[in-house]
Amino acid sequence: MTISFGGRLAAEFAAGRHLCAGIDPHAPLLAEWGLPDDAAGAERMGREVVAAAAGVAACVKPQVSFFERFGSAGFTALERVLGDARAAELLVVADAKRGDIGSSFDAYAAAWLSPGSPLEADALTVAAYQGFGTLAGALGLVTAHGKGLFVLAATSNPEARDVQTAVREDGRTVAAAMVGDAQVFNSRAFAGEAVGGVGVVLGATLRLADYGIEIDGPELPGPALPVLAPGFGHQGARIEDAGGIFGQLGRALLANESRSILSGGSDGLAARVRARAAAVAEALSA
């Protein structure tokens, strides 16, 4: 029997692991690590992060663009990073932010979520601004093969605000619709499970009420909605404030941190991952 992505997340949370360790091999960080700005440097960083995060963090999140910029060599490097994570039984969220319609999106989903694909990950970040229904090809893989999605809802970049706060004909903001549609899907596809297979991306530096997203009120029935939350650590959000930021939406929180872990080079990486994982666990257990 295939274990759902939400089921695997629930096991991580039960073990006290809520940290999502980012893998962002951009040029300044590679230089700080003393690594070349090429595919080999990106691979070295990625594989070291996987080794440090295994058994400590809930998951790792490679930013695909920083590998893609090196062409085929970059994708080969990323495949090796993904292979290490699979061998370590460490969850991987591929931060590719794919979005399209019809067969085009289906092909993206197949590349990142099909079992046996060279780029196979456990979950994928996606953009559904052409309609939540465009995710159909990926949603089939979510239910059939225990994969996950994180749908962009309210992101911290200021350029997104006008789109994400736009009000639809049904009265919901675009951001709130992404949250609501993910909850509806989980309630139907994962009834009876503790955590759903489809989550959302919500920036920890935002006031979610400004995006029409309700965080107060009674705990929602059905599976908890996974929330991938960038913004903790270097970007200024405090994990100790997670309850006030996300309210009842924070039942299945993955706190993403990248620069707070990666800055400082390879030396001390494992200690930084352990320290941030412990801080996140302590804050979310309070």
CA nearest 249: which of 275, 209, 220?
220
Given the residues 97, 161, 172, 251, select the one marked as catalytic. 97
CA nearest 72: which of 118, 116, 13, 110?
118
- Non-local (6+) Cβ contacts of 176 within 8 A are 153, 211, 212, 213, 214
Token pair in block for residue 249: 């939406």
> What's the rounded Cα separation, in Å, for the pair 256 and 254?
6
Determine whether 61 is an active site residue.
no
Token pair in block for residue 42: 């990106």
Amino acid, single-letter form, for residue 84: D
Cβ-contact 69, 84 below 8 angstroms: no
> What's the rounded Cα separation, in Å, for the pair 199 and 218?
19
Classify residue 224 by its DSSP letter: B
Catalytic residues: 97
